[in-house]
Amino acid sequence: ERQTERTELQQAIDNKNTLCEQFEALAQTSEEEWSTVNTRQQALYEAFQAIRNLPKSVHIKLESRWQNAEKALQKRGQQVAKL
């Protein structure tokens, strides 16, 4: 049972890391596809927030990673808006 809990926890952490990777990749979206970013961002955010009950240290690390990706995405959005 403990092994199952660890496996489920690791899977949740892996899933949240994958969502971070996908979110970080949004900043690479081309100008032509930029109109799809908001929808994709919202879907990733909802999936990211749905994963709960992680150890505090892991949660903080992943939240920080998400926030950094958000800043990069905002910066990219400003660049696209200038085009």
Q: How far apart are CA 80 and CA 74, in angstroms?
A: 10
Let me know: does 41 contact 23? Beta carbons within 8 Å.
yes
If you average pLDDT over every residue of the chain, what do you get?
Answer: 95
* For range 51-57, the mean pLDDT: 96
Supply the pTM of this predicted model.
0.91
Q: Is the pLDDT of residue 61 over 90?
A: yes
Distance of CA 79 to the CA centre of its chain: 21
